[in-house]
Amino acid sequence: MSSVRTTAPSRFILPVVLVALAVVVSAVPSLNVALPGLARDTGADQTQLQWIVDAYALVFAGLLLPAGAIGDRFGRKPVLVVGLAVFALGAFCAAAVDSPEAVIACRGVSGVGAALVMPTTLSIITSSFSAAERGKAVGAWIGVAGAGAVFGLLTSGLLLEWFAWPSVFVFGGLLAALTLAAAVFVIPDSREAGAPRIDSVGGLLSSLALAGIVYATIEGPHRGWTDPVTLGGYGLGLVCAVLWLAWSLRAAEPMLDPRLLRVRGFAAGVLSITVQFFVFFGMVFIVLQYLQLVLGYTALEAGLAMTPMGLVLGGVSRRAPHLVARVGGRIPAVVGLLLIAAGVLVLAGLDAGSSYWLVLAGLLPVGAGMALATAPATTSIVAALPGRKQGVASAVNDAAREVGGTLGIAVLGSVLNDGYRQGVADHAPPQLPDGAVHAAQESLAVALRLGEGQLGRVAVEAFVDGYGMAYLTSAGVLAVTAVAISALGPKRAAETEAEAAESTVS
């Protein structure tokens, strides 16, 4: 039974929750465009720059499940407020330090805060709004969760037009602090009266499993997929996942009952969210490089170029829950995945001379498809867990999103890099010294700095070829997932609820 004490009119709850969500989901893309200045001022090398970005994702993903359970047990409002405070502390400290190691540590602190904030935002919506209002509120949440990346790009692009890289952290910290102040007065203090005790063993094992997988995925493209560190990370993740499974099957009150994976709606929802954000994060990561390095856009211009996708995603997300309620979740889920596949196939055809209109023709179906596919997936995941575990349900949704996104950047980035490096090696001018060719293979940005002559043209062509391979891979993954969802996904949330109740009782 949910206990909710309202502190302000409900119309103010959703805006505060959505801003809190935007703060944490925009933290990675907003920093990406600030990395060149940060490297120049702090002396960070390429590995350190990667960890400045990935420390946040690693901690964020690893702590999501226990953070959701803590919100259910001790109250969503205090967990949200503490999370925003921790996020702001990490951001302000990152703006004040001047060494790469310190920035990495501060990003990890912000990741702790983000893990407390994100699942709490969705569980506040599911516990604070009536059934009639909930669909629209969840749709808005889905829109911000997807379009937050564009918000981060735009704000950081604007800031970097006039200020240095610390301004990106200061802005994030100020926004978190202002949202915290609003949350104190606006967000209802809700918790579940029947929430189980915190499953500390299950929480620790799930955190280590997720952290091991995410760490190995981050390190794999650079160290090599057979490097002992990479294999060790995956080994840790696998062992902890097996131990978590064994523990949770025997525990009286597990944080997340593994038997839910037998529920078609729950399993299909997790699969769909993971694949969607595998492709979406990888697509954003790659297309931003294309816009800036191949088409010559500035950071702000690249953010503006992505804005129509965010607008479509946000607009369709608000209507998607109504569509799911009318026709069920299977059709929108499959259509959404196929729309994303169509969009990335268009993007796969871009070359060095393509116009922005072709880029837009690929971005718009991706945005619409994300909105259509995310709504039924999130609804299925949330419907599979009872009200007393809505924080855990939200955390499962968010963990699938973060792990899928991290895998997408790593795997699709590796496909791009492998194709790029091979293309440069095969077609580099023979008169160039080996040192120049090896340097050009590091990245397209390095190749263009070496010169815009024949080597630059070869590098751009190699990048476009690798880019196409990454997107063709994405389209294939999406098509296979659409077939699986079509065969296995439930039509309506009520089916998932009934099947989940039967599965966890048996």
pLDDT in tens, 177-196: 999 999 998 888 766 655 56
Q: What is the mean pLDDT of the chain?
A: 83
What is the model's pTM? 0.82
Rounded to whole angstroms, what are the CA distances from 387 to 135, 190, 196, 237? 16, 11, 12, 29
Nearest residue to 390 (alpha-carbon basis) of 11, 21, 52, 76 = 76
| Position 469, amino acid | M
Q: What is the pLDDT of residue 85?
A: 97
Sort 50 into a burial class: Cβ within 10 Å, 0-12 / 13-18 / 19+.
middle
Nearest residue to 74 (alpha-carbon basis) of 195, 202, 201 = 195
Q: How many CB atoms lie within 10 A of CB 143?
A: 27
Nearest residue to 403 (alpha-carbon basis) of 142, 113, 62, 76 = 62
Q: What is the DSSP letter of 198?
A: P
What is the rounded end-to-end Cα distance, in angstroms, of the chain?
22
Asked whether 84 and 176 are in contact (CB, 8 A), the reply is yes
- Across 263-290, average pLDDT: 87
The SS3 assignment for 357 reads helix
Per-residue pLDDT at 327 exceeds 60: yes
Q: How far apart are alpha carbons 168 and 265 in whole angstroms?
A: 39
> Which pLDDT tens digit goes with each residue over 439-496?
777 677 777 776 656 777 888 888 888 889 999 999 999 999 999 998 876 555 545 4
Nearest residue to 406 (alpha-carbon basis) of 280, 225, 222 = 280
Asked whether 75 and 191 are in contact (CB, 8 A), the reply is yes
Tokens 């039967």 belong to: 502
Q: How far apart are alpha carbons 337 and 478 in whole angstroms?
A: 6
Per-residue pLDDT at 503 exceeds 60: no
Tokens 């129509």 belong to: 308
Size (the chain), residues: 506
As beta bridge partners, residue 12 has none
Asked whether 185 and 58 are in contact (CB, 8 A), the reply is no
